[in-house]
Structure 1
Amino acid sequence: MYTGDKQKTQDLYHEVQNIAFPKNKSDPLLREWVKPGSNPIIVPEGGINDTKFRDPTTAWHAEGHWSRDFKRWTRVRKPLHSAATGMWECPDFYPVAVDGWQYGLDTSVPSNKHVLKNSLEVGRERYVPDDPASDEHHLRYDYGNFYASKTFYDPVKRRWILWGWANESDTDTDDVAKGWAGIQADVEMSFEVPSLEGVEALDPALANDAQKLCSVRGVDVEGGVGPFGLWVLASSKLEERTTIFFRVFKAAHNINSTKLVVLMCSDPTMSSLSQNLYKPTFAGFVDTDITKGKISLRSLIDGSVVESFGAGGRTCILSRVYPTLARGDEARLHVFNNGKADIKVSQLIAWAMKPAFMNGA
């Protein structure tokens, strides 16, 4: 299934849902498709914004079927969920295990608990988790330029894979001039924190605003434990650098609190000498127990994307950056610590990846 445009008037199009079938099912790459004359199979009815009606996801019923024939659809009397969201895009609905989460569940497995995921316009709606007290920092899939994600089930490793767009933030002209922006490096690190003495107190006014906290207590502000992390896509004299770092705070619930909070930031403000670029700082709190004395960081780096995963992916941040000096062989990687407490790098593994092979067949 896929979304298509159907002309409504001479100058106006609305979105509809279409279907296509593989021409040769024995082709492992499914390179040729046939569009039946019965398209579209779903059209927007009354009360639906037909310019924001796209990117469907199919779901397998546990009883053993996808749809009767995928061609005839009936709108249910009551929707699964309804809200004035504006854009509602790329929905996913899949089962999860109630007890434990070591493996994902295929959609054919019966479950009494499911995840409803979608992409919304910024600020349109907020969902309430099962346990609001455990979501004090309003957890998200990704805290950066990540949009319109889709999921699929990997039956080999029994896991759900989610991937999405890395929102573009530069001009179309500059994008074309840069050419292909494939991965350059994959870096995995482990930091050891021998001592948590001297951890700075968290300002209560910033306790639920990671992005503002990252701006106020940024990489150039010395802390008790942190900031420590990576400078990636750095030029030889550090005129350009993108910073990914952690910083530890004492929770602000009460003056005697011993709970620690870990902040993760991706700061691209020094990523380019060009001044006319969108370079926001992104941040999120990391759901990890730093008292165990260690935290991991993995960063995927290419010519314009830095995607970082803190504590095994508990917090993910994607940034778009556009260095002018730190490109290709001129790009460097540095580990840094701007906190009073010593930080030990117990592991640093980096891979450079070969150029992508584009199959034009």
Structure 2
Amino acid sequence: MTAATATTAETFRPALHYAARNTWLNDPNGLIFHDGVYHLYYQNNPLDNVWGNMSWGHATSPDLLTWTEHPVAITCDDEEDIFSGSIVFDRDNTSGFGTDSAPPLVAIYTSAFKPGSAHHGVQAQSLAYSLDGGYTWTKHAANPVLNRGSAEFRDPKVLRYDGGAGSYWVMVAVEATDFQVVLYKSKDLKDWELLSTFGPANATGGVWECPDLFPLPVDGDPNDLQWVLTVNLNPGGPNSGSAGQYFVGDFDGTTFSSATTVTDGLQDPDRLGEYLWLDWGRDYYAAVSFSEAPDNRRLMIGWMNNWQYANEIPTSPWRSTMSMVREVSLQSMDGSWRLVQQVAGDPAPLAEQTPSFTLAAVEISDGHHVLDGAAGSVQRIELALTPGTAEECGLIVRGDGAQGTRIGIRPADDRIVVDRRESGQTDFHGSFASVDTAPIRTTDGTYELTVYVDRCSVEVFAQGGQVTLTELIFPAATSTAVSLYAVGGTATINNLSVTQYA
């Protein structure tokens, strides 16, 4: 299908995902829950719908589903672009930007200094503070506060460490082209001392960006905590282009030690599939977590795009969206650990309380089987299937005849696959049409999928969230059919339900 397909750019505006009204966005920044509100800041070009003029856009939500866009929070100027970073609630006013009775929010961001600046060519870490709950910001007069003289030092994620080594702020940032995470500590967010470095390790096929570091209980046991270090890279993902990886291990207040490193140093291309990936799809990048999330939940959101084609996706005047917010947990598996991800917000208020379509105990044969009554453009599909003799079997969503986005299982290969070669508009960039796969393990011969379909995306959560794949798609507005398919044999649909959201 070509760009001549009868769609308009607004056809693709998502219902379940955040997109700016009429500008460009990329990496999520400064994620924080404060005074009962989730704040999403993000890399934003306030003047256009392609990358440039990097500033921090801003949106808020009471429920992680409905978002309100606000004026640009921290703007670029003649001296600097405002690259990625994080926000902390400085409740003890360690920075001195607020008062004991009115502590500030403090943003820690990368200043990418421009020609004419005294720091031209350098990326260094700077501060801004807010005294009104995150809606207006003042840049610190003594910026930058941490300067290594590097052109590739960026993306600070700051957390509060309280442990055996003491109590202080920890900054996790990257030396991007060295494939290295650098850790610093500070008492006041202004003066920083180097703690340690981590890397290179595992995937190093592209620059390292947007790290995060946090503890999680294993299998929900608060007495068994492991630390998770995430780091995104571009390119070098498991299915090409941008992606995010993670490591599990220990952080003692000084050093992160990984227990899941497969290759120290530069990656072994033949072992790419052995690394731990946040998402195996093409369109989940720069994922980081919220600070101060209630009930100690670890909530993450990623940029739903890929630098291979990000500036050319066929939407206007807006371009790019965020993923749905995910709650992540840590599960023991085969003597190691894996992140498990589930959608964090409950879309039920957007839909009927009961599925609009259900199916149970049906065998399908070789071919393509349209489900009458299941069509939709914004929906959740839950499916459990048992392959029989089929070489591949699964779903086709946002379909039109035999075309659409295929989400299937290849049991002989222990793979899940998302095929978007016939998903709608694909010819805007040569690398967009793709067949993306991930390893998947059966549970007693059965595979379970939860698929969130939106107007320009699918997010697939397999086997209870053990495996995820996130993919952009650009189908015609009239392509709404849901189908089952099998290739080369039979499969049994144990149960299927479809819930419509719009």
Give the structure-1-normalised TM-score. 0.68
Structure 1 spans left out of the alignment, 5+ residues = 197-223, 250-260, 354-361
Aligned to 1:23: 131
1:174 matched residue in structure 2:
314
Q: 1:284 aligns with which of 435, 438, 446?
A: 438
Structure 1 299/157 Cα, relative in aligned 2: closer, same or farther at 3 Å? farther
Tell me which residue corresponds to 1:234. Answer: 399
Instruction: Name the CA shift for 1:305/1:129 in 2 (closer, same or farther; >3 Å).
Output: farther
Corresponding letter in the other structure for 1:229? G
CA contact (8 A) 1:5 1:13 kept: yes
Residue of structure 2 in register with 1:317 after alignment:
469
**CA–CA separation in structure 2 for the residues paired with 1:335 and 1:228:** 8
Matched, 1:162 2:300: yes
Aligned-pair CA distance for 1:178: 7.3
1:166 counterpart letter in structure 2: M
Structure in which a larger fraction of residues adopt strand: 2
Provide the secondary structure at the position in 2 that maps to 1:40. coil
**Larger deviation, residues 84-93 vs 67-76:** 84-93
Letter in 2 for 1:22: S
In the other structure, the counterpart of 1:344 is 493
Matched residue count: 289
Task: Give the match for residue 206 of structure 1.
Answer: none
Q: CA deviation at 1:246?
A: 1.1
* Kept in 2: contact 1:137–1:285 (CA 8 A): no
What are the Cα deviations for residues 163-191 of structure 1, in whole angstroms up to 9, with x where unaligned?
21122436548332677879952323132
How many angstroms apart in 2 are the aligned matches of 1:154 and 1:241?
40
Deviation string, structure 1 residues 28-56 (Cα, Å, up to 9, x no partner): xx2122222011111233xx4x1x32221
1:101 counterpart (216, 219, 222): 219
Q: Which residue of 2 aligns with 1:130?
A: 260
Query: What are the ranges of 5 or more consecutive residues in structure 2 without an aligned counterpart?
Result: 1-107, 170-185, 238-244, 248-257, 263-271, 325-376
Counterpart residue number, 2:231: 118
3-state DSSP of counterpart to 2:433:
coil
Query: Residue 156 of structure 2: SS of its match in structure 1?
Result: coil
Counterpart Cα distance in 1 of 2:261 and 2:147: 37
**Structural RMSD (CA):** 3.5
* Among candidates 244, 248, 252, match of residue 407 of structure 2: 244
- 1:200 aligned residue: none
Matching residue within 136, 158, 166 for 1:32: 136
Structure 2 distance, partners of 1:157, 1:262, is 36
Partners in 2 of 1:350 and 1:62 — Cα distance? Answer: 44
Return the match for 1:55 from 150, 155, 162. 155
1:39–1:166 distance in 2 versus 1, CA, 3 Å: same
C-alpha distance 309-16 of structure 1, shift in aligned 2 (>3 A): same
Q: Does structure 1 conserve the Cα–Cα contact (< 8 Å) formed by 2:112 and 2:122?
A: yes
Per-residue deviation, 1:301 = 2.1
| C-alpha distance 21-122 of structure 1, shift in aligned 2 (>3 A) | same
Give the aligned residue type for 1:57.
Answer: K
Question: Which residue identity does 2:384 align to in structure 1?
Answer: F
Percent same amino acid among aligned pairs?
21
Q: What secondary structure is seen at the aligned counterpart in 1 of 2:315?
A: helix
Find the aligned partners of 1:181 and 1:36 in 2 and give their Cα distance: 30
CA distance in 2 between partners of 1:95 and 1:284 (Å) = 26
**Which one-letter code corresponds to 1:341 in the other structure?**
T
Check the 8 A contact 1:181/1:302 in 2, yes or no.
no
Q: Which amino acid aligns with 1:71?
A: K
Give the whole-Å Cα distance in 2 for the aligned partners of 1:348 and 1:44. 54
